[in-house]
A and B are shown apart, each in its own frame.
Chain A
Amino acid sequence: MPSPTDLNIDHVAHLARIALTPEEKTQFAAQLGDVLAYIEQLKTVDIAGIEPTAHAFPIYNVWADDVARPGLPVEAALRNAPAQRDNMIVVPKVVE
């Protein structure tokens, strides 16, 4: 298991798209360092040959038939939008 000091808070905050203040960075790095140090104990568990559990009760092939049902009217779809125009969501220009 990696060392808790591996946590590069700038990099991870960037991946998570959260602008952290310098104070938050310092505080979170320390707090999460403690949590990661605690998590280290998982290293001691013998997991050889153990299958991972993704779902407590694995079931397969859960699907629905391909039937199109009415969706949301456009007004309802955009009701919570911070900015909209011409029935679309407005964001500052995305540079592709």
Chain B
Amino acid sequence: MKYEAVIGLEVHIQLKTRSKMFTRVATGFGQPENTLTDPVVLALPGVLPVMNKEALDKIVKAGLLLGCTIAPVCKWDRKNYFYPDSPKNYQISQYDQPICLGGTVEIELPGPSRNVMGEHKLIPLTRIHLEEDVGKLNHFARESLVDYNRAGTPLMEIVSDPAMHSAEEAFAYLTSLRQTMVYGGISDCDMEKGQLRCDANISIRPVGATYLGTKVELKNLNSISFVRDGIAHEIARQIAVVEAGGTLVQETRDYDGQTGASQSLRSKEMAHDYRYFPDPDLMPVKVDEEWKARLLAECPERPFDKQRRFFTQYQVPYTITSVLVPDRALSDFFEAAAQLAPGKAQAVGNWIVNDLLRELGNARLPLAESKVTPAHLAALVQLIEAGTVLTNAAKEIFVEMFASGEKPDVIADRKGLKAAPTDTGELEQWCRDSIAGNAKAVAEFKAGKDSAINALKGPVMKAAKGKANPKLVDETLRRVLAAL
């Protein structure tokens, strides 16, 4: 029997806001324990929540970027459950009226090889809703210590349909989702900081079947590659259980990315009964067309849309776009430079992908700190195009430009890397004239005094009115002298 996996992902993403979801104390990561609290975060007696407008803006933007329907009216519900990381013992969330419905995440599957684009698919979303994060438990031998700094951070839950069928698809889904959210400035999605967290619901069924099998929820998938590995492991485990004649049970399993093994988590509740009801402390939200339009105008182009545009507008190949597009800043850099160097977009792309990224990598610098600007790069490409510098010289200029931030022609002048004059016949004639007029220097040179060649350069430079490429002059003189 052949099996296919059915996978749905629940992704929690922290929204990038200054203050918390329902109170105006700062959000943050890595601060001393319990220094980002206030009476509301701690759920002290008597406190009340007040919505964060920026969090609403951000989730609506996220929804617009993913093509969701933004609900004209949504409300807040309380999800009741007891846990020491949850200060109120209920989470303010959205139950039956989430703010975003539907939508899709466009994914790209691995191609047949690295430089060939893979298949694209649209993974449908069920919903996106807004809620608040909980605090953090630190476990010790006999005690757990609670830090509420994270509690109340705005959290967006993105629920996909059970529409993925392989670990690769799940990996591609998360990769694309993360890129899109970072593009939109919605979150930094740093998984090490817990800004993006993923749970996977996985079941298997015989190929061709349409029903849903017994699902297992995989938790604590705390890196994108752990998600891929964990899902692959779980699919294999389920197939093995079924093929051995066993029965799958609906359960929650914990995947350990280090050991590659998973184990069942014993259920803490008899059964989950969250007793959802509308939060009486909060008023519903109405999103009108004007609000949506304003946020839509702030939304950036989505990564795959940008890639398609780069193909047609700049005729750059996949090998370049696949490096540029995942990084919004890098693709913006490219586009700025490409605009300044019309018709030379591919050269611009190559310089970025090969040279700029190499230098940034060596220097361990982010793009934002690059001294090479799009204007510098465009200027360099144009110097090459005009024949003013040759490729090897250009490489040298680039390295210098990266180090000093000077303009490429300044560097070329200073280091004498300009390829001028362009007429090599003329240069050769000036060399011959100089040799003919300086018998003494020629004799000294022939006798082995290498520096004597310098005396021959002056008249050449004079004849070239200073525009001769010194390196070229040197080479030409030596060639002519050698032929004497």
Contacts and interface: CB of A to CB of B under 8 A. Distances in A.
| Contact, chains A and B (beta carbon distance below 8 A) | yes
B141 A93 contact: yes
Nearest to A70: B25
A60 B287 CA distance: 10
Contact of A68 (B19, B39, B278): B19
A91 B143 contact: yes
A69 B283 CA distance: 23
B37 to A, nearest CB: 5
B433 interface: no
B140 A66 contact: no
A33 to B, nearest CB: 21
Contacts of A66: 17-19, 24, 52-55
Range class of the B interface residue count: 35 or more
Interface string A63-96: 1111111111110011000000111111111111
A91 B42 CA distance: 15
Given A59-B283, A66-B18, A67-B24, A90 B145 contact: yes
A73 to B, nearest CB: 8
B285 interface: yes
A69 B38 CA distance: 10
A68 B25 contact: yes
Contact of B32 (A17, A71, A87, A91): A87
A8 B280 CA distance: 27
A36 to B, nearest CB: 17
A64 B18 contact: no
Interface string B358-392: 00000000000000000000000000000000000
20 contacts: A11-B270, A15-B275, A54-B75, A55-B280, A61-B283, A64-B53, A67-B19, A68-B18, A71-B35, A71-B38, A73-B35, A74-B37, A85-B145, A88-B34, A90-B145, A93-B141, A93-B142, A94-B137, A94-B139, A94-B144
Given A63-B52, A89-B145, A90-B143, 6 more contacts: A64-B52, A71-B41, A89-B84, A91-B143, A94-B137, A95-B268
Interface of B: 17-19, 24-27, 32-39, 41-42, 50-56, 73, 75, 82-84, 137-148, 265, 268, 270, 273, 275, 278, 280, 282-286
